[in-house]
Amino acid sequence: MKRVDDFRLRLGGRELVPIITGGMGVDISTAELALEAARLGGIGHISDAMIPTVSDRRFRTRFVTDKQKKYKYNVANRDKSGIHFDLGHLAEATRMHVGRTMEAKKGDGLIFINTMEKLTMNNPRETLRVRLVGAMDGGIDGITLSAGLHLGSLALVEDHPRFRDVKLGIIVSSLRALLLFLRKSARLDRLPDFIVVEGPLAGGHLGFGLDWANYDLMTITREVIDYLRQEQLDIPVVAAGGIFTGSDAVEFLEIGAAAVQVATRFTVTHECGLPEKVQQEYFRANEDDIEVNLISPTGYPMRMLKSSPAIGAGIRPNCEAYGYLLDGNGNCAYIEAYNRELDQHPEGTEISVRDKTCLCTHMRNFDCWTCGHMTYRLKDTSRRLPDGRYQILNAADVFRDYQFSVDHRLAVPPEPVAAQA
């Protein structure tokens, strides 16, 4: 009976444990979490979602406060098109988040950054370019392009000295999306170094419609692997979404996936950025407490706990401070939805917006409880403490459980010493 540890991911002349922790914005996949995966010989992702916000929290910089001060005059204005990111600050925040993480790296693994195209920041091209360049300058080992088709992303950094040295990959949810990307990258003579196939059970935004349940990861992964074989393209394929046990992972490695990307099981670890109160919500969740809805202003469906405070909240758009989802014209679907409610309730009290959410603010405050489909099984990976809470796990234990477990077994942590007494 095979274990994940019987396989290796070969990438850029290295042999890695084929376990990748997925990017989880906003700072849910912290540097600490990514560093643990790298220390244990796998790949850990940090995320580039709302990096100035993350930098302020991590390094006590003042990027958000400064931006908020600069645009304070605009708070009551419905028009947010005049709000812009300072590209110098964005570059500095990215270099700092990445650079300090890379400095702390130990072990044989790698650190990648998840870079989302949908963070359009009222200047899609330039802000994406700055984030990609900042990550490369900061010494990142690899970049995983996500939340978008990224048809122009590689061209943004083709002149960077590290363009052929940094591992560049993309997340796709269909062979069709991959073909579009490959056509573009062939023009730059720069094929991706890896491809993440993310299925419908993942957390965060999904590359599927509300009919996500009609798709399955195994089928899509096989299609992608078959296509690459047929074209004699030797690009490692990484399967992601709903892989909960080491044995689940082995099933993908046996059909030719080079690695798995996993996230949900790490959401309840000490190293994860979620506050413990939210982690306990994840532990307690049952399958029918989780939904895929359309409240994200990005237009992509998103999976989350139905009890997320972000659902139905009616806060004033906070673009002066954040504004990460403003499109190229300074619009965001939440602003429209909020203004519609404001027009219907001019007295302005207790506004509730059901169809969209202010994702920036709610992700910043950990009030949008996005999660993978398998979250309802997290309780099987921990033990209940006498006070009713579940024990928070160590990332290294979860990583090793994926690496060595057989028979779909799930490791449960030993009883804490205090509880034994």
List binders of ligand FMN among 113-132 (CB under 6 A): 114, 116
DSSP states of 115-166 as a string? EETT--TT-HHHHHHHHHHHHHHTT-SEEEEESS--TTHHHHTTTSTTTTTS
Q: Using CA atoms, how far apart are residues 86 and 66, in angstroms rounded to an integer?
A: 10
Assess contact for 61 and 55: CB atoms under 8 A. yes
61 in contact with ligand FMN (CB under 6 A):
no
Assess contact for 151 and 181: CB atoms under 8 A. yes
Of the listed pieces 92-100, 134-142, 293-301, 371-379, which binds ligand FMN according to CB under 6 A?
371-379
Beta-carbon-side half-sphere exposure of residue 185 (alpha carbons within 13 Å)? 22
242 in contact with ligand FMN (CB under 6 A):
yes
Both structure tokens of 345: 């309730």
List binders of ligand FMN among 312-351 (CB under 6 A): none
Phi and psi based region of residue 12 (left: phi greater than 0; alpha: psi -120 to 50; beta: remaining): left
Assess contact for 379 and 393: CB atoms under 8 A. no
Least distance between ligand FMN and beta carbon 408 (Å): 15
Name which of 392, 390, 203 is nearest 290 in CA terms: 203
Of the listed pieces 3-11, 153-161, 347-355, 368-376, which binds ligand FMN according to CB under 6 A?
368-376
Least distance between ligand FMN and beta carbon 303 (Å): 8
Least distance between ligand FMN and beta carbon 43 (Å): 12
Q: Using CA atoms, how far apart are residues 333 and 356, in angstroms rounded to an integer?
A: 7
146 in contact with ligand FMN (CB under 6 A):
yes
User: Residue type for 106, please?
Assistant: K
Of the listed pieces 364-372, 378-386, 390-398, 413-421, which binds ligand FMN according to CB under 6 A?
364-372
248 in contact with ligand FMN (CB under 6 A):
no
Secondary structure element (H or E) that encloses residue 296, with its range: none
Which position among 9, 11, 19, 24 is part of the footprint of ligand FMN (CB under 6 A)?
24
Q: How many CB atoms lie within 10 A of CB 88?
A: 9
170 in contact with ligand FMN (CB under 6 A):
no
For ligand FMN, give the closer residue by CB, 243 or 392: 243
Assess contact for 370 and 302: CB atoms under 8 A. yes
Which position among 4, 9, 25, 269 is part of the footprint of ligand FMN (CB under 6 A)?
25
Binding-residue pattern over the window 257 to 286 for ligand FMN, x denoting contact by CB under 6 A: ----xxxx--x-------------------
> CA 233 → CA 190, 192, 237, distances in Å?
12, 10, 11
253 in contact with ligand FMN (CB under 6 A):
no
Q: How many CB atoms lie within 10 A of CB 237?
A: 23
For ligand FMN, give the closer residue by CB, 71 or 311: 311
Q: Are strands 290-293 and 302-305 parallel, antiparallel or unpaired?
A: antiparallel
Least distance between ligand FMN and beta carbon 25 (Å): 3
List binders of ligand FMN among 33-52 (CB under 6 A): 47, 49
For ligand FMN, give the closer residue by CB, 267 or 405: 267
Q: Using CA atoms, how far apart are residues 121 and 123, in angstroms rounded to an integer?
A: 5
Q: What is the DSSP letter of 179?
A: H
Least distance between ligand FMN and beta carbon 20 (Å): 9
> Can you give the binding site for ligand FMN, defined by CB under 6 A?
22-25, 28, 47, 49, 114, 116, 146-147, 171, 198, 201-204, 240-243, 261-264, 267, 370-372, 374
